[in-house]
Amino acid sequence: MSDREFKRLRDLIYDKCGINLQPVKKTMLTMRLLKRLRALGMASFSEYFDYLCHAQGNWEELVQMLDVVTTNKTEFFRESIHFDFLLNEALPTLVQAGKIGPKKRLEVWSAGCSTGQEPYTLAMVLSNYFEQHRVGTFSILATDISTRVLAIAQKGIYPEREADPVPLSLKRKYLMRGKGVNTGYCRVAPEVRRSIRFQRHNLVDCRTFGIRTSMDIIFCRNVVIYFDRPTQISLFDKFYGQLTPGGYLFVGHSENLHGINNRFVPVSPAVYRRLE
């Protein structure tokens, strides 16, 4: 891949999904896109770029390209302190404020959900809490730009070793162990899977998210580190508009809103609350 080809593809990726690839990522991009060139029988990255930008449009290939270049690292109970805060602080506060109850469903969004471990963790934690406290119902929207990882997430099937971080009580309650040819795997229980709606979503595609439901809790962790500062500012402005007053925003521990958005109040490490 020449420097010119890298710049053209990098600019296209930035335009389509906001990911800002630095020059040091040239080798990574080369290796990942070579798979697409081979699959399409193309001889050069310039030919591939022209194919992506064809006048008739190649939306399916754009989706394939973004699937290839995006990084999808996740695990059950990743940054577990967030789920402790959710249980011990956020949920009781929302119940007390009347934002959870018999007539008010809790709305949660897992943005950048990857292969599904984060929304399934949320669903297990919330299912257990709502059952114990009898406080109402909840719904989780789980989105990602990658159709490949969403297909994995929707199945809810994982190697048993990946479920090691799940507390034993929740594991027994919400994970089913495979038998026969499925030995060594576990599947998330149907009642947990039913509480999650998976869909493809591009966080930077439009001026607004295009999601009609206002959210009480948003998890967007270890996603914005791939964006430049203007994109981050725009993204957190949209998160602010999507959250209900008093709602919570969880970001990655390497991320913060300092100098990006001052309308959120920090309430715990990497946890913010929208001002009432």
Name residues whose C-beta falls within 8 Å of residue 267's C-beta, 6 or more positions apart in sequence: 89, 248, 273
CA distance 153 to 117: 8
DSSP-assigned beta bridge partners for residue 151: none
The reported pTM is: 0.83
In 3D space, the residue among 269, 244, 234 whose CA is nearest the CA of residue 89 turns out to be 269
State yes or no: pLDDT of 49 exceeds 80: yes
User: Among the options 144, 216, 221, 273, which is catalytic?
Assistant: 144
Annotated active-site residue in 32, 105, 148, 187: 32
CATH topology of domain 3-69: Chemotaxis Receptor Methyltransferase Cher; domain 1 (1.10.155)
Decide: 49 and 8 in contact? Cβ < 8 Å.
yes
Distance of CA 235 to the CA centre of its chain: 14
pLDDT in the model for residue 72 = 66
144 is catalytic: yes
58-105, pLDDT tens digit by residue?
A: 667 777 787 777 766 688 999 999 999 999 999 999 998 888 877 889
Tokens of 5: 């080809």
Q: What is the pLDDT of residues 124-141, one digit of tens each?
A: 999 999 999 888 899 999
Could you tell me which CATH class the domain 81-274 is placed in? alpha beta
Q: What is the pLDDT, as a whole number, of residue 231?
A: 86
**Biggest CA pair distance of the chain:** 62
Predicted confidence (pLDDT) at residue 244 exceeds the cutoff of 80: yes
Amino acid at 251: V
- Domain range annotation of the chain: 3-69, 81-274
